[in-house]
Structure 1
Amino acid sequence: MTAYAIGNLHPKPVLDEEVFVYMERIQATLDPFGGRFLVHGAPAREVREGTWPGAVVIIGFPTYEDARGWYDSEPYQALIPLRTRHMAGDVLLIDGVPEGYEAAATAARLRAAVN
């Protein structure tokens, strides 16, 4: 099942050289795990509900194990300080939904569980 690394990042107003080095090197850390950018550093075009400060990063992986392997890998761990010294934010790893997922079926299971 597809998994994702999602970041809500808050870059400082002036980007440092380290951020550019991070960006230049990150793809090489993703490649062994089948990771690819789906969204990279885009500010929200419209916030329809709530607030969403910062820039969004979404990276897709073939499996959760691939996402975890990438994040925990030595090459990526070595890059993290280049980003975190210049950007605060939140990063999470999350499973996607399986092929054929139906929200109505999930609602039915939840309804049955509470009744």
Structure 2
Amino acid sequence: MTTYAIGHLHDVNVGPDIVEYLRRIDETLAPFEGRFIIHGGPATVVEGSWSGDLIVIAFPDGDSARAWYDSPAYRRILPLRTGNSRGDVFFIDGVSADHRAADVIAKLPLSDQPLG
């Protein structure tokens, strides 16, 4: 199952450290088959509000994502980003191609109480 590394970054100080991070990150992804799906850019907000930059990197599975993040190659460049931005980074599994919204109902903590 594909696992995504997602970063929601704010206040990115685009200076020499971030430029170096961007130049080097691809080489850290390659051994783990990681690839960018989304890498910042403007968002068209249709509900709510949005700020910051969204980055989504796909990996073949959770083990690959975790191995990349923990790899010595990535750990060497990580301070270049964390010292020049703030944000949240997490892993999340994707769903199968035949997934339907109702598939999650069995996993919901439903109560007998009416909503509202």
For normalisation by structure 1, the TM-score amounts to 0.86
Distance 1:10 1:85 in 2: 12
Q: 1:60 aligns with which of 58, 61, 67?
A: 58
**Are the equivalent residues in 2 in contact too, given 1:42–1:57 (CA < 8 A)?**
no
**2:89 maps to which residue?**
91
Distance 1:2 1:83 in 2: 25
Distance 1:64 1:31 in 2: 15
Per-residue CA deviations over 1:69-115 (Å, capped at 9, x if unaligned) read 101111111111101111111111111113421212323x2579656
Per-residue CA deviations over 1:33-92 (Å, capped at 9, x if unaligned) read 00000111223x222333321011000001011111101111111111101111111111
* Partner secondary structure for residue 21 of structure 1: helix
Task: Note closer, same or farther for the CA distance 1:25–1:105 as it changes in structure 2 (3 Å cut).
Answer: same
Question: Which structure shows the bigger proportion of residues in helix conformation?
Answer: 1
* Partner secondary structure for residue 81 of structure 1: helix
Structure 2: state its 5+ residue gaps.
none
> What's the RMSD between the two structures over aligned residues?
2.0
Question: Which structure shows the bigger proportion of residues in strand conformation?
Answer: 1
- Residue identity over aligned pairs, in percent, reads 44
1:7-86 alignment to 2 at 5 Å? 7-12=7-12, 14-43=13-42, 45-86=43-84
Task: Note closer, same or farther for the CA distance 1:69–1:111 as it changes in structure 2 (3 Å cut).
Answer: closer
* Partner secondary structure for residue 100 of structure 1: coil
Residue correspondences, number = 112
Structure 1: state its 5+ residue gaps.
none
Task: Note closer, same or farther for the CA distance 1:18–1:111 as it changes in structure 2 (3 Å cut).
Answer: closer
